[in-house]
Amino acid sequence: MPSFPPWLRKTLATVATVAATILGLLFVTFMIGRVMPIDPVLAVIGERATQEQYNQTYIDLGLDQPLLVQFGIYVNDVLHGDFGKSIRTGQEVTTDIARVFPATLELATLGTIIGIVLGVPLGVVAAVRRGSWIDQLARFVGLIGYSMPIFWLGLVGLLVFYGILGWVAGPGRLGIFYQGIVEPITGMLLIDSALRGEWTVFKDAFSHIILPASLLGYYSLAYISRMTRSFMLEQLGTEYVTTARVKGLSEWQVVWGHAFRNIRIQLITVIALAYANLLEGSVLTEIIFAWPGLGSYITTSLLANDMNSVLGGTIVIGTIFVGINIFSDLLYRFFDPRSK
Amino acid sequence: MTSTPSTQGLRSWLLSEEPSSRRQARYASWYKGWLTFRSNTLAMFGLAVLAFLIFAAIFAPILASHDPFAQDLGQRLLAPGDNGHLLGTDSLGRDLYSRLLFGARISIYIVLLVVMVAPLVGLIVGTVSGYAGGWVDVLLMRVTDIFLAFPRLILALAFVAALGAGIENAVLAISLTAWPPYARIARAETLTIRNSDYIHAIRLQGAGPLRIVTRHIWPLCISSLVIRVTLDMAGIILTAAGLGFLGLGAQPPSPEWGAMISEGRKYILDYWWVATIPGIAIFAISLAFNLLGDGLRDVLDPKEGDA
C-alpha cells in the first residue's frame, strides 16, 4: 500500500487486526458449539417432536450445509446481533445480556476506580521511597493479590464485614424493600437512583456494591500499583529528573510535575487492561455475591447446558476485551509523540 | 557453618575459576545459581512451602488421620480440634485435615498436567514460527495473538462447558488458554539464536531443521520458559480452583480445594472453617509459586529482575 499516508496504513492494519481477532473468537465459539455433546436440533424443538419436524429444523438451522458455510451463517447472525434464543430464559440472548450487563459494568467500573485511586499513589510513593516500608507494603499487597483466590476472599469478606461486623449489606444488588422503586435509566443502580433523587435506594445499593467492588478494586490495585512503581522508577532514573532536582525544584514538582506527567500514557494503557481484566474477573465475584450480572448469567447458563447464552456471553466479553486492548493501543499511539 | 574437608573440596571444585571439563562448568553454573537463589529468603520460603506440600501429597495416606471420603453425619461441622479432627469436619462429617492432604495431590496433578502440555505447545509453535519465518511465522503468530486476546477464564469456562466437567477437561481448557505467552517467548528466543554462528556451523555439518530446532534451539529456550511457567503456576492453580468452585473442575466427592470451598460456602456464616481452610491452602501454594518464580527470575534472568 505505497500510495496511502502512514496514518491511514496504520489504521487499516489495526482494523484488519481487530477483524481477524474477532473472527478468530467467533471461530472458536463456533467450534465449541459444534463439538459439544448436545444436539442443537433437540435443544430447539424438544424431545417429543416428530422426525419430519426434526429434519425440517435440521435444514432450517443450516446443519446440512458444509462447515464453512455454517460458519458464514453464524458470523452473519452474530454480526446482526443474533445470538439465538436462551433455552433457560426463553428470551433472545441479546435481550438477556442487555439486561444483565449494566450490573457487571457498574461493579467493574467502581472496582477500577477504587484500584486507580489507591493504586496509583501507592505505586508512585513506593517508587519515590524505594526500599522504605511503604515500598515493602506495596510489594506485599501485590503478592497477596496475585496469590489469593478471589472467590475465597469474597467469602471471607462476607463473613467478616457482613456476618461479624455488619458494616455492609449481604449478597445481592439491593435489599428486598428497595426493589422496583427506581425506574431504570442506565441500568446502573447507583447512577439511576442518584438521577432520580432516591437517596435511600442509593444508600442501600451502595452498601451492597461496596464490598464486591472493593475486592475487585484490590486486584486491580495490586496490578496498577506494581506497574506504576516500575514506570516511575524508570522515569526517576533519567537525566531530566536529575536536572529538575539540580534546578532546585521541590520534590513534589519533580515527582508529580515531571516524572508522573511522562508516565500518564503508559498508565492509561495499564488501567484499560486492568478494567478489561475486571470485566472478566467479576465472574467468580458475582457468583459469591449473588450479583445479577453477566458472570452470573454465563455460569448459570453453563450449568443448565444453555450453550447459546454461554457462547453469546463469551463473545460479548471477548469483544469488549479485544476492544479495550485495541483502544488502549490507539490511545498510546495518539498521545505519545514518539510513535507518530 | 562447619564443613568437612570433602565438602570443602567439592565447593572449591564447583567455584573453580578454570573448569577443566564441560561437566564441571555446567555444575559450577548451577551451583552459583543456587547460591544466588539461596540468599533470597522469600524464594527459599516458597521452595520450603512447596517441598512441604509435595511431601504432604506423597505421604497423604500415612499423614491423614481419617479416610477423606468417610462420611459420619453424627460428626458433621465439628470445629477444629473437636473429637480428634484437627481442622474440623465438613457438612458430611468428613475430616477436613485428611481431605486437605488428599486435595494437595489433585492440585499437584493439575499443575503437572498443565505444565506438561501448555509450555510444550508454546515451545513447538514458537520455535517453528521463529525458525521457519515467512508466511508460517505470520500465520502462527496471528493465531497466537488471537488466543492471547481472549479472556482466559471465560474461554476456559466455555471449553469446559463443551467438553464436560472434570479434572482432565479443566486441564485441557486451561492449557488451551495458557500456551500463547510461551509461544511468544520461544519465538523471541529463536529469532535471536537463529542466525548465530553455531547454528550456521551445525547446518553446514548437515543437520536438518528438526535436529537444529529440537537439539540446539529448544535447550536455549528452556530457562526463559521455566521462569514464566513458575510465575504462571499460581495463576493456573487459581484458575483450576475457580473452575472447581464453579462445579466445572473436579467433581464431588473429590477433595479438590476449590470444590471444597464451594461445599463450605453455604455454611460460611456459622461454620467458617469449612470454606476458609481450603482457601488458605490454595493461597499458600500460589504464594509459594509466586515467591519461587520471583527468585528463579533473579537467578536465571538477572536483566528482567525488579529494577
* CB atoms B158 and A281 under 8 Å: no
Both A57 and A151 in one domain: the answer is no
Longest dimension (CA), chain A: 87
Claim to verify: residue A184 and residue A314 sit in the same structural domain: yes
What does the alpha-carbon distance between residue B44 and residue B46 come to, in Å, rounded to a whole number? 5
d(CA A284, CA A68): 35
Q: How much of chain B is in helix, strand and coil states, percent to nearest 5?
A: 75, 0, 25
Residue B307 pLDDT:
35
Residues A201 and A278 in one domain: yes
Question: Global pTM?
Answer: 0.82
Question: Which has more pLDDT, B252 or B240?
Answer: B240
Domain-ending residue, one of A38, A54, A80: A80
Mean pLDDT of A23-28: 83
Whether residue A25 and residue B242 make contact (CB cut-off 8 A), yes or no, is no
Per residue in A57-83, is it b (16+ CB within 10 Å) or e — as a string?
Answer: bbeebeeeeeeeebbeebeeebeeeeb
Q: Chain A window 36-55: which residues touch B at a Cβ cutoff of 8 Å?
A: 36-37
In this prediction, residue B306 carries a pLDDT of: 41
For residues B127 and B121, what is the distance between their CA atoms, to the nearest angstrom? 10
Structure confidence by residue, pLDDT tens digits, A272-307 = 888 888 877 778 888 888 888 888 888 888 877 777
Instruction: Say if B241 falls within a structural domain.
Output: yes
A321·B155 Cβ contact <8 A: no
Quick: pLDDT tens for B147-163.
Answer: 877 777 777 887 787 77
pLDDT number for residue A121: 92
Which of A21, A33, A318 lies at the smallest CB-CB distance from B151? A318
Domain assignment present for residue A198? The answer is yes
**Given a cut of 90, is residue B26 above it in pLDDT?**
no
Tell me: the pLDDT tens digits for B269-280?
Answer: 778 788 888 889
Tell me if chain B has a CB within 8 Å of the CB of A59: no
Residue A315 has pLDDT above 50, yes or no: yes
Both A171 and A236 in one domain: the answer is: yes
Closest CB to B149: pick one of A237, A281, A325.
Answer: A325
**Chain centre distance of CA A179:** 26
Query: Cβ of B145 and A17 within 8 Å?
Result: yes
Q: pLDDT digits over A59-95, tens only? A: 777 777 777 888 888 888 888 878 877 777 778 888 8
Answer yes or no: do A99 and A191 share one domain.
yes
Last residue within a domain, chosen from A80, A104, A134: A80
pLDDT at B236: 87
Does B39 reside within a domain?
A: no
Determine which of A116-130, A163-177, A240-254, A255-269 has the lowest per-residue pLDDT on average. Answer: A163-177
> What is the model's pLDDT at position A116?
94
Q: Which residue has the higher pLDDT, A44 or A51?
A: A51
SS3 call for B125 = helix
Mean pLDDT of all residues belonging to chain A: 82
Tell me, yes or no, whether A27 and A114 share the same domain: no
* Domain-embedded: residue B153: yes
A20 with A156, same domain? Answer: no
pLDDT over 90, % of chain A: 8
- How far is A289 from A158, CA to CA, in rounded Å? 8
d(CA B102, CA B104): 5
The stretch B13-42 carries a mean pLDDT of: 80
Amino acid, single-letter form, for residue B257: W
Which residue, among B138, B139, B146, B231, would best test binding to A if mutated, counting the most A CBs under 10 Å from its CB? B146
Closest by Cβ to B276, choosing from A156, A230, A279: A156
Give contacts of B 276-305 with A, CB under 8 A: 276, 278-279, 282-283, 286-287, 289-291
What mean pLDDT is reported for chain B? 81
Find which of A31, A155, A319 to mutate to test the B interface (most B CBs within 10 Å of its CB). Answer: A155
Q: Which domain holds residue B79?
A: 46-306
Residue B272 lies in a domain: yes
pLDDT at A117: 94
pLDDT of B5 over the 70 cut:
no
Helical axes A6-35 vs A307-335, angle rounded to 10°: 160
Distance CA A113, CA A124 (A): 17
Q: Which of A24, A143, A325 has its CB closest to that of B287?
A: A143
Report if residue A34 sits inside a domain.
Answer: yes
- Shared domain for A167 and A217, answered yes or no, is yes
Kindly indicate the confidence band of residue A37, based on its pLDDT and cuts at 50, 70 and 90.
low
Place of cell 463439538: A35
Interface of A with B in 193-252 (CB under 8 A): 230, 233-234, 237
| CATH assignment of the domain containing B112 | 1.10.3720.10
Say if the Cβ atoms of B242 and A284 lie within 8 Å: yes
CB–CB contacts below 8 A, A to B: 138
Element (H, E) at B3: none
pLDDT per position as a tens digit, B104-132: 888 888 888 888 888 999 999 999 988 88
**How far apart, in whole angstroms, are the C-alpha atoms of residue A152 and residue B279?**
6
CA distance B154 to B173: 10
Cell of A185: 435509566
Quote the number of domains for chain B.
Answer: 1
pLDDT at A54: 78
d(CA A232, CA B127) in angstroms, rounded, equals 35
Question: What's residue B160's pLDDT?
Answer: 80
pLDDT of A19 > 90? The answer is no
DSSP per-residue string spanning A63-102: TTS-HHHHHHHHHHHHHTT---B-TTTSSBHHHHHHHHHH
Say yes or no to pLDDT of B304 above 80.
no
The pLDDT value recorded for residue B262 is: 84
The β-bridge partners of B95 are B89
Contact A103, A293 (CB under 8 A): yes
Total Cβ atoms within 10 A of residue A138: 25
In terms of Cα–Cα distance, which of B226, B243, B257, B258 is closest to B174? B243
Question: Within a domain: residue A87?
Answer: no
Residue-wise pLDDT tens digits, A142-153: 888 888 888 888
Residues A110 and A72 in one domain: no
ipTM value for the complex? 0.80
A148 and B154: CB-CB below 8 Å?
A: no
Are residue A72 and residue A105 in the same domain, yes or no? no
- Measured CA to CA, the distance from residue B54 to residue A284 in angstroms comes to 28
B108 alpha-carbon distance from chain centroid? 8
Closest CA to B174 of B125, B230, B111, B231: B111
Query: What is the extent of the structural domain holding A105?
Result: 94-335
Cβ contact B158–A234 (<8 Å): no
pLDDT for the residue B250: 79
Q: For A301, name the nearest residue in chain B, comparing CA atoms only.
A: B161
Alpha helices, DSSP H only, in B164-217? Answer: 167-194, 197-204, 209-211
B6 found inside a domain: no
Of B246, B224, B240, nearest in space to B173 by CA: B240
Three-class secondary structure of residue A293 per DSSP: coil
- Considering the domain architecture, whether residues A115 and A263 belong to the same structural domain is answered as yes
pLDDT tens-place string over residues B56-97: 888 878 877 777 777 777 777 777 777 777 677 777 778 888
Q: Does residue A59 share a domain with residue A139?
A: no
Closest chain B residue to the Cα of A324, Cα to Cα: B149
Residue B143 confidence class, pLDDT cut points 50, 70, 90: confident
Q: Is residue B80 part of a domain?
A: yes
User: Helix crossing, A133-147 with A93-128: angle to 10°?
Assistant: 150
3-state secondary structure of A92: strand
Residue A297 lies in a domain: yes
| Residue A53, in any domain of the structure | yes
Asked whether the predicted pLDDT for residue A7 surpasses 80, the reply is: no
What residues contact B167, with CB distance under 8 A and at least 6 apart?
Answer: B106, B109, B110, B249, B250, B254, B256
CATH assignment of the domain containing A136: 1.10.3720.10
For cell 495416606, what's the residue? B61
Residue at which a domain ends, from A48, A80, A112:
A80
Question: For chain A, what is the domain count?
Answer: 2
Using a CB-CB distance cutoff of 8 angstroms, which residues of chain A are in contact with residue B263?
none
Note the pLDDT of residue B305: 42
Does residue B302 surpass a pLDDT of 70?
Answer: no
